[in-house]
Amino acid sequence: MPTSTTPSSTGRRPGSRTPDTVAIKPQRMGFTFGADVPRYWVADNYLISHTMNALSVLFPEGEQFFVDSVRAFRDRIDDPKLKEDIRGFIGQEAMHSLEHDAMNAHVRALGMPIDDMERDLKVLLDTVRRLPKRHQLAITCALEHITAMMADMLLERDDIREDMHESMRPLWVWHAIEETEHKAVAFDVFRHVGGTYAERTAYLVISTAMLGVVTTWFSGRMMLRDRRNFSLRDAGRGLWRMWGRNGAFSSLIPTWVAYFKPGYHPWDKDNRDLIARFKADIQTHIAPEYRNGNRRTLQ
């Protein structure tokens, strides 16, 4: 089980609960996306592919928000391991932004309104930045919970990975590995600075609703731009695969609900075995120029 640095009798604030065997280290991958990527790269499905494209659009601006919300409390952290976790978290989120920028450039080249969506997302997040800093951190915890449970599903379920075209699969598997590695960092910072149960659970509900609205809005805009290829049958099949029995998203509901447990922690589910299972293979996808690492981080 993950170790805890939260003594109950010494008065120390909660620290990192990320297992010592999990290394939170950034790695630039250098993914490229060319003519070999099918237009509908998930299960050859119009709806699912545009939904995943929409999620990719959210990452660069969204992960900058995550980093800013954690960085706002970095000077208040007195747990050495948590400080190190934060450094790794910032670095990994930087790499995610860079790699999804590359994917988003590919989707833009297909004629999708990526620039408009990125602008609209920035306006939304700048509005959210008017909230108190700890509330912003609670939002980050909530959205990190959602990304971590999606990552766990992707690594656990062969059928989900196999639905992805081989030209896109490495990006999403790599991202899932790193989301799993740093899944508790924002949560541990939130606990360390006195975040409350009411804050974190209320913002899970709010953040989930907003994520659903924005993702639907963005994927709808892409589908409208690509409406010549719309198929009611294809859309219905996509909705079933996402929200039907054992669907990609519907299957996550029990994990989402687990966040409401008063003593919940992201490492209550110890899925280090999934990191180990995929880590070695994903290293083979690092572009040659990045095999010695990359130190660039978000600012």
φ, ψ for residue 164, nearest 5 deg:
-85, 135
Spatial separation of the C-alpha atoms in residues 113 and 123, rounded to whole Å:
16
What is the residue-wise DSSP string for 231-258?
Answer: -HHHHHHHHHHHHSTT-TTGGGHHHHHH
Helix (H) or strand (E) holding 160: helix 158-163
Count of domains forming the chain: 1
> Is 20:3 a contact under the CB 8 Å cutoff?
yes
Q: Considering the domain boundaries, does residue 15 fall inside one?
A: no
Spatial separation of the C-alpha atoms in residues 226 and 224, rounded to whole Å:
5
Write down the pLDDT at residue 108: 97
Q: Considering the domain boundaries, does residue 136 fall inside one?
A: yes
Write down the pLDDT at residue 294: 56
Write down the pLDDT at residue 13: 81
Residue 34 has a CB neighbour count (10 Å cut-off) of 8
Distance between first and last Cα of the chain: 34
Write down the pLDDT at residue 176: 98
Q: Considering the domain boundaries, does residue 31 fall inside one?
A: no
- Give the tens place of pLDDT for each residue, 75-128: 999 999 999 999 999 999 999 999 999 999 999 999 999 999 999 999 999 999
Which residue has better confidence, 230 or 165? Answer: 165
> Is 78:86 a contact under the CB 8 Å cutoff?
no
Expressed as residue numbers, the domain containing 219 is: 46-284
Q: Considering the domain boundaries, does residue 260 fall inside one?
A: yes
Reported residue count of the chain is 299
Q: Considering the domain boundaries, does residue 130 fall inside one?
A: yes
Q: Considering the domain boundaries, does residue 293 fall inside one?
A: no
- Give the tens place of pLDDT for each residue, 20-55: 999 999 999 999 999 999 999 999 999 999 999 999
pLDDT confidence tier of residue 11, bands split at 50, 70 and 90:
low
Q: Considering the domain boundaries, does residue 290 fall inside one?
A: no
Write down the pLDDT at residue 292: 79
| φ/ψ bin of 206: left (φ > 0), alpha (ψ from -120 to 50), beta (otherwise) | alpha
Q: Considering the domain boundaries, does residue 74 fall inside one?
A: yes
Write down the pLDDT at residue 298: 42
